[in-house]
Structure 1
Amino acid sequence: MGELFRYVTNGLVATGVHYSVLAFNLHVLGFSSAGLANLVAAMFGIAASFVGNRYFVFANGGEAPWHGQAARFVLLYGAIALLHGAVMWTWADWLQQDYRIGFLIATVMQFVLSYIGNKRLVFKK
């Protein structure tokens, strides 16, 4: 099974974790704010993504100290989130284009940058 396939699989699992925790927060715990429920759920999704990348996607990732990888992972995903937001603002707010197309563009960019960043910066051999 190739690394890119494992990366996509891990992303789908992390997204499933994110969505499941979001639904749990809203329907079981009764969060009154979907935004807050999503913020909490995103932390679970990001944690699932980190663990999956460390032990499943990038096989040698488990050999390095986890705390250094976690710090680089958080910095990478924080930078990508800011860039994602900037693309959305530029596309939808400034250029007045369809936000759905902007979201697709930003998400593809996020996918590519996170794969390259994880491979070369966070979980490098």
Structure 2
Amino acid sequence: MLKSEFFRYIINGLVATAAHYCTLNINVLLFKFESIGVANLLAACVGITASFIGSRYFVYQEHTNSFVSQLARFSMLYMSIALLHGSFLYIWSDMYHLSYNVGFLIATVFQVLLSYFGNKILVFKNAI
């Protein structure tokens, strides 16, 4: 099963999402952040770092682009995704006072789709 790129992507995504979600809960419950949106943006940095490391070394093993090129493209892609994720949670939780747990789940579904195709097409493609 580990030969399947998509299966490895799912494993990496679960690990990165767990890191993101655990950090979000630590920010909200332990550090008492008042803004869920801000707490989520900081937590996203942890999840993004875990995702890049896993993507580069575990998921997309056939890449040929340099580390610096991949890091730059990955950073741009994930900054965009993190801003969308954080903005959604800000609106969902801070403005509408809905459960951040449900909002996190909804935003993560969209994040998975954007990141899989973005990584495959833009970040971890073979150099031309």
What is the TM-score normalised by the length of structure 1?
A: 0.68
For residue 109 of structure 2, what is the aligned residue in structure 1?
A: 108
Q: 1:81 to 1:19 in 2, by over 3 A?
A: closer
Alpha-carbon distance in 1 for matches of 2:18, 2:56: 18
Alpha-carbon distance in 2 for matches of 1:77, 1:34: 26
For residue 5 of structure 2, what is the aligned residue in structure 1?
A: 3
Q: 1:49 to 1:98 in 2, by over 3 A?
A: same
Alpha-carbon distance in 2 for matches of 1:66, 1:48: 15
Give the SS at the match of 2:53.
helix
For residue 98 of structure 1, what is the aligned residue in structure 2?
A: 98
1:34-54 CA deviation, whole Å, 9 max, x = no partner?
76xx94x76554333212211
Displacement, 1:115?
Answer: 0.9
Q: 1:9 to 1:74 in 2, by over 3 A?
A: same
For residue 82 of structure 1, what is the aligned residue in structure 2?
A: 83
Displacement, 1:81?
Answer: 0.7
What is the TM-score normalised by the length of structure 2?
A: 0.67
The percent identity for this pair of structures is 54
Number of residues paired by the alignment?
Answer: 114
Instruction: Give unmatched runs, 5+ long, in structure 2.
Output: 24-29, 34-39
For residue 50 of structure 1, what is the aligned residue in structure 2?
A: 52
Alpha-carbon distance in 1 for matches of 2:21, 2:106: 21
Large movers: runs of 4+ above 4 Å? 15-20, 32-35, 41-45
**One-letter code of the match for 1:116?**
F
1:28-75 CA deviation, whole Å, 9 max, x = no partner?
xxxx9576xx94x765543332122112211212x2211010011111
**One-letter code of the match for 2:121?**
R
Work out which of the residue numbers 5, 11, 14 in structure 2 matches 1:12. 14
Tell which has more relative contact order, 1 or 2 (C-alpha 8 A, sep 6+).
2
